[in-house]
């Protein structure tokens, strides 16, 4: 779970059936350590009760601009001044239309209008019928809200309460939560394009068997999430893993080392950074069998002949763009012993400015890791922690290195 322990979130609910998702969203915010103040419109109370939101947030809910619980009777001022951000989820078509015209006829719209623009960001999670979402008036309003400084999240596609199917569904609570967490991450990679490969590769022997390894892809996916949160445009090339695609990340699925090599080489010319976290098979069988290899009557093991797979990291590191300092390459070295020695030798052999070492048996499939960052001058240890936290630390370190490396 990401940490929002220093954040105070005003969670606004406007009228819409998606209000039911606000309950789970509130829970996620509270579990992350944030304090949450819920403000609802009268219309929202028709879909979910203030009692529910009070129980989940641990705070009294505000609905009316005439609420006299504030000593100065100015809830619209007081609540906005305390907020790290105002998050309206759901934001109905009507509510967004009111905002662009500066209309303020209820507490929530009044608070949004009265918030200090420079210190209290406004984040909107739209929710409406597909025809309402695609209507030119709504799209004009969304564009104007973004020009006015609001952050308008995307919408999901799928079945809607009315029975129709299309765009306009509010994002799921976890997706909104992750978008909010990303919002607070400094955008140190803004404008950068990051290419990451992740997970294992699978080298088929016959239609039912193959060679692979224990890599889960979790470190590479965590880096994709952290890079995206830092403002980068991220492409993730993944081997066969059981992980969902991170929000806002472009994903390309591959199976073999050769397929991964070909995809990386197609994408790398558009990248500023290449992070090679994938556990790529060094070898593949030379002759693939179209039929399952059956056990012989003599129980003799089949003889398999191998050939070397292409070296993805080395190919990228020795490309023209890498040599001209237009592409920064980061390698990963998963070792079973003598980590510093083998990872250092691999960095020199591959020709990359930064090698990240870890002990494979102590990280494959796990949610935590410990990393060694090795360059030509020093070795830095990132102590064992969650892969999510390590990913953010590594991306921050990478952002510092880019400033003195990349040449436009």
Q: Which string of b and e fits 250-266 if b means at least 16 CB within 10 Å?
A: ebbebbbbbbbbebbee
Sort 141 into a burial class: Cβ within 10 Å, 0-12 / 13-18 / 19+.
buried
Residues facing residue 374 across a β-bridge: 355, 379
CA end-to-end distance (rounded Å), the chain? 37
Catalytic residue among 26, 112, 162, 181: 162
* Short-list 6, 77, 76, CA closest to 35: 6
What single DSSP character describes residue 62? B
To the query of whether residue 112 is one of the catalytic residues in this protein, the response is no
Cα(373)–Cα(352) distance, integer angstroms = 12
Determine how β-strand 328-335 pairs with β-strand 306-308.
unpaired
* Short-list 263, 260, 123, CA closest to 179: 123
Cα(256)–Cα(241) distance, integer angstroms = 13
DSSP of 238-282, one letter per residue?
E-S---PPPTT-EEEE--SHHHHHHHHHHHGGG-SEEEE--B--S
Question: In which residue are the tokens 């398999």 written?
Answer: 304
Give the tokens for residue 11: 């969670």
The secondary structure element, H or E, covering residue 157 is strand 156-159
Catalytic residues: 162
């Amino acid at each position: 779970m990401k940490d929002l322990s220093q954040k105070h979130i005003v969670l606004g609910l406007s009228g819409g059936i998606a209000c039911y998702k606000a309950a789970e969203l509130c829970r996620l915010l509270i579990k992350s350590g944030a304090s949450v103040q819920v403000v609802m419109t009268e219309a929202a109370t028709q879909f979910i009760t203030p009692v529910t939101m009070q129980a989940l947030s641990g705070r009294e809910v505000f609905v009316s601009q005439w609420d006299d619980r504030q000593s100065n009777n100015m809830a619209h001022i007081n609540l906005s001044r305390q907020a790290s951000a105002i998050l309206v989820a759901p934001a109905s078509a009507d509510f967004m239309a009111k905002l662009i015209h500066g209309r303020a006829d209820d507490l929530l719209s009044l608070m949004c209008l009265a918030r200090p623009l420079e210190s209290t960001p406004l984040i909107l999670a739209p929710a409406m019928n597909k025809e309402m979402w695609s209507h030119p008036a709504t799209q004009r309003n969304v564009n104007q809200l973004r020009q006015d400084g609001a952050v308008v999240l995307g919408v999901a596609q799928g079945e809607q309460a009315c029975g129709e199917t299309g765009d306009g569904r509010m994002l799921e609570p976890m997706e909104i939560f992750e978008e909010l967490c990303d919002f607070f991450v400094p955008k140190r990679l803004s404008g950068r394009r990051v290419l990451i490969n992740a997970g294992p590769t699978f080298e088929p022997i016959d239609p039912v068997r193959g060679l692979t390894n224990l890599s889960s892809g979790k470190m590479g996916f965590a880096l994709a999430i952290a890079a995206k949160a830092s403002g980068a445009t991220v492409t993730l090339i993944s081997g066969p893993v059981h992980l969902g695609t991170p929000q806002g990340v472009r994903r390309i699925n591959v199976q073999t080392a050769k397929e991964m090599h070909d995809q990386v080489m197609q994408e790398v010319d558009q990248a500023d950074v290449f992070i090679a976290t994938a556990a790529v098979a060094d070898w593949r069988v030379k002759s693939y069998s179209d039929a399952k290899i059956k056990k012989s009557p003599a129980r003799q093991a089949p003889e398999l002949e191998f050939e070397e797979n292409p070296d993805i990291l080395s190919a990228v590191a020795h490309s023209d763009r890498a040599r001209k300092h237009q592409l920064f390459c980061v390698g990963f070295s998963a070792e079973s012993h003598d980590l510093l020695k083998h990872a250092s030798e691999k960095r020199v052999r591959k020709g990359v400015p930064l090698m990240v070492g870890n002990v494979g048996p102590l990280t494959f499939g796990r949610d935590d890791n410990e990393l060694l960052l090795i360059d030509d001058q020093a070795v830095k240890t990132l102590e064992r922690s969650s892969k999510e936290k390590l990913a953010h630390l590594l991306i921050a370190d990478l952002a510092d290195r880019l400033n003195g490396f990349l040449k436009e």
